[in-house]
Chains A and B, each alone.
Chain A
């Protein structure tokens, strides 16, 4: 579950 939420929060920097 922790890994899933980490994956959801991992975004490419807005440019």
Chain B
């Protein structure tokens, strides 16, 4: 078990995206999500840290950061969605896939995952209109040729409310 006391968002994310992790480490990923929910400015700080990791030249670090981002979208609620739904953060994702910015230096795997996430949010979070603006701009630019197919287990479906026991 990781020691939760004194952990910061940055230290959780460093552990969750450590390039020497042999596989995605869900203890750290969930630790990061929980820390976001505990802190007043958790979502604002988290998206800044995530953007930096997603732009890592190390593919495995970037892939893990995208998994963390996906987990945060599922577990950190509206406050986090609002931060992701700002151009300030969306622009950082656009930079990863656009050849005008970092696109030529980023692996296809990372770019495909970014596009998958953006598309899944346009479907799951229609109220976040800037996500749609960003995604359709990438389509107009020819950076996204066709909508990706999102596996059912990867769609952003909020957990259903718990069923009452023996009503």
Residues of A whose CB lies within 8 Å of any CB of B are 10-13, 15
Contact across chains for B100 and A15 when beta carbons are under 8 A apart: yes
Q: Does B48 contact A (CB under 8 A)?
A: no
Chain A: interface secondary structure?
Answer: loop
Chain B: interface secondary structure?
Answer: helix
Q: Does B20 contact A (CB under 8 A)?
A: no
Contact across chains for A11 and B87 when beta carbons are under 8 A apart: yes
Contact across chains for A15 and B86 when beta carbons are under 8 A apart: no
Contact across chains for B91 and A13 when beta carbons are under 8 A apart: yes
5 A-B pairs whose Cβ atoms sit less than 8 Å apart in the complex: A10-B86, A11-B87, A12-B134, A12-B137, A13-B87
Contact across chains for B141 and A12 when beta carbons are under 8 A apart: no
